[in-house]
Structure 1
Amino acid sequence: MKMRATVAYDGTDFHGFARQRGLRTVQGVLEEKLSGLTGSRIEVFGSGRTDAGVHAEGQVVHWEQSVGPPPERYPAIFQRILPRDLLVRDVTTVPDTFHARFSAVAKTYCYTIQTATEPDIFTRRYSWHLPVKVSLERMRQGAAYLVGEHDFTSFCAAATPVENKVRTVHRLSVEPRGSYLLITCTGSGFLQNMVRIITGTLVDVGLGKMDADRVPSILEARDRTAAGRTAPPEGLSLWEVYYDAEFHAHA
């Protein structure tokens, strides 16, 4: 039986999603708890890896089990046995053909920036405190150049072990929320640090450190050093993962 779950976590105290020997990770904790519940070794697969310090509101995972609780009982069971910074929202059975990563057709990431003079002590783990004035208009102009299908080599970590760096950004918005800015990016897939580098570059544009119309040349350069800074991990959250009909319903 293959199970699919939607998972949320505060990434502050995790060394990312992916299992790492001797380190606390989201995948590692889930596998440990599921193996204990089912009495057999369970391997959990995620829709993608989030880095250390990055959060998730709607990460999707799957696993296979031959014995274990029915799907409807899992959320209540997990609530009792999981740490407080990890939540399983729902569990359903899925066909054998489903794969949390390879069946995904799009994802949405959200990045939160706080621009108030003083940091909010209650949101400091989930936002980048940047107490400066940035131009929303310039940031939006820069963002518009990134929508569509592009080679995002300039917008990913230099050591990213992926040959094909062409991705499609369906939507990229910059919206004010009181003293916060919310950058929301929906795309076909994301490279390592891609949203954080997009965010850092748009901030540099908003601060006037680079012109918005420089963004196309940054894409063409296919060189990480051409883009702006990498925003810190704490402001980033994997918001939603889409699978075929789900994505088209949101389009």
Structure 2
Amino acid sequence: MRNIKLTIEYDGTRYLGWQRLGNSEKTIQGKIENILTQMTGTKIEIIGSGRTDAGTHARGQIANFKTDSKMMLAEMIDFLNRYLPRDIVVKKVEEVPERFHARYNATGKKYSYHVWNNEIPSAFERHYSFQFSQELDIDLMNEACRKLIGSHDFIGFSSLKKTKKSTVRTIDELSIQQEGSMLHFTFVGNGFLYKMVRIIMGTLLEIGTGTLELGVIDEVFENKIRSDAGMTVPSQGLFLDEVYY
């Protein structure tokens, strides 16, 4: 039995997210599994490094699957990219050790979020960024980013309900780069809770406008109350860039 690792890029605009949903044809996982099943002649289920929400994109999603197929790797990538929709691309196909697991072996992830900070919308960036027209204090937002770096209980910055599993995560990098009207936010950490990046982004934007005080970050870490943090920004500005192993 071979274990095959896929590196996948996708535009999530027209999909309901990564995870297969019943008979829906509108998930990334479902689309890839259908083509793999056609390719191998046997039912294939893939394991992703994690779920991405409806409308979220990926430059480096990782998945793996087991197969008895003798097909060469070059033939696999050619077949996949020939028959998958054009908004899903397999960038790399590798054979990996039997014990490799795309989700459980992941040690960290890199996400980016993109904000179009302009009163005039962009015709080209509308599916890949969040238009936010209010003026932002970037220096204050950078200060907020520094407060979020490190190991903290991020339950208050997530949409998770109470759980017995640990909600402590470590953010190693949280930075902002400005390119004209576009703001690029980079998140690197050992893991992210459900909607954590999108809620942190909403909190940063509201701090940047003065709607929330800088001290709200410490308050949410202490009281763990989701409603004290900022809004949940839309999914179309979010990209899963890389998964670390």
TM-score calculated relative to the size of structure 2: 0.96
| Structure 1 residue 134 corresponds to structure 2 residue 136 | yes
Residues 33 and 162 of structure 1: CA distance in aligned 2, closer, same or farther (over 3 Å): farther
**In structure 2, C-alpha distance between the alignment counterparts of 1:227 and 1:71, rounded to whole Å:** 46
Partners in 1 of 2:51 and 2:137 — Cα distance? 32
Report the residue type matching 2:173 in the other structure: R
Please give the secondary structure, in 2, of the residue aligned with 1:12: coil
Residue 147 (1) aligns with residue 176 (2):
no
CA-CA distance at 1:116 after TM superposition: 2.0
Residues 1:175 and 2:161 are matched in the alignment? no
Corresponding letter in the other structure for 1:4: K
Q: What is the CA RMSD across the aligned residues, in angstroms?
A: 1.2
Separation in structure 2 between the aligned mates of residue 109 and residue 71 of structure 1, nearest angstrom: 28
Give the aligned partner of residue 26 of structure 1.
28
**1:229 Cα deviation after fit:** 0.4
Could you tell me which amino acid in structure 1 is paired with residue 171 of structure 2?
Answer: V
2:23 equivalent to 1:11: no
Report if aligned partners of 1:72, 1:92 keep a CA contact under 8 Å in 2.
Answer: no
Taking structure 1 as reference, are residues 72 and 160 closer, same or farther at Cα in structure 2, changes over 3 Å only? farther
Asked whether the equivalents of residues 160 and 193 of structure 2 are also in contact (C-alpha less than 8 Å), the reply is no
- Show CA shifts across 1:166-209 (max 9, x none): 11111100111111011110010111100000000000000011
2:106 corresponds to: 104
Could you tell me whether the CA contact under 8 Å between 1:128 and 1:232 is conserved in 2?
Answer: yes
Q: Which of residues 94, 115, 126 is equivalent to 2:117?
A: 115
Distance 2:159 2:114 in 1: 20
- What's the counterpart of residue 85 of structure 1? 87
Count of paired positions:
243
Maintained 8 Å contact 2:109/2:190: yes
- Structure 2 unaligned segments of length 5 or more: list them: none
For the 8 Å contact 2:39–2:79, the answer to whether it is kept is no
Partner residue in 2 for 1:194:
196
Query: How far does the alpha carbon of each residue in 1:60-116 deviate from its partner, in whole angstroms, 9 at most, with x for none?
Result: 000011015221222222221000110100000000111101111010000000012
Q: Secondary structure at the match of 2:103?
A: coil
Q: Contact 1:168–1:187 (CA<8 Å) still a contact in 2?
A: yes
Q: Deviations over 1:22-53 (max 9, x none)?
A: 32101111111001100001110000000111
Letter in 2 for 1:7: I
- Measured in 2, the distance between the counterparts of 1:117 and 1:79 equals 38
Aligned 8 A contact 1:218 1:227 in 2: yes
Equivalent-residue separation in structure 1 for 2:164 and 2:19 (angstroms): 17
Paired position in structure 2 for 1:246: none
In structure 1, list runs of 5 or more residues that go unmatched.
244-251
Query: Is residue 37–residue 68 contact of structure 1 (8 Å, CA) maintained in 2?
Result: no
Amino acid at match of 2:22: R
Q: Give the Å deviation of 1:158.
A: 4.1
Equivalent position SS for 2:92: strand
| Alpha carbons 2:157, 2:196 under 8 Å: kept | yes
Measure, in 2, the Cα distance between the counterparts of 1:188 and 1:172. 13
- Partners of 2:145 and 2:117 lie apart in 1 by 19
Query: Equivalences for 1:194-213 in 2 at 5 Å?
Result: 194-213=196-215
C-alpha distance in 2 between matches for 1:154 and 1:196: 12
Of residues 43, 46, 49, the one that matches 1:47 is 49
Cα distance in 2 for residues equivalent to 1:35 and 1:196? 34
Percent identical pairs in the alignment equals 38
Task: Give the SS at the match of 1:22.
Answer: coil
Contact persistence 1:160–1:191 (CA under 8 A): no
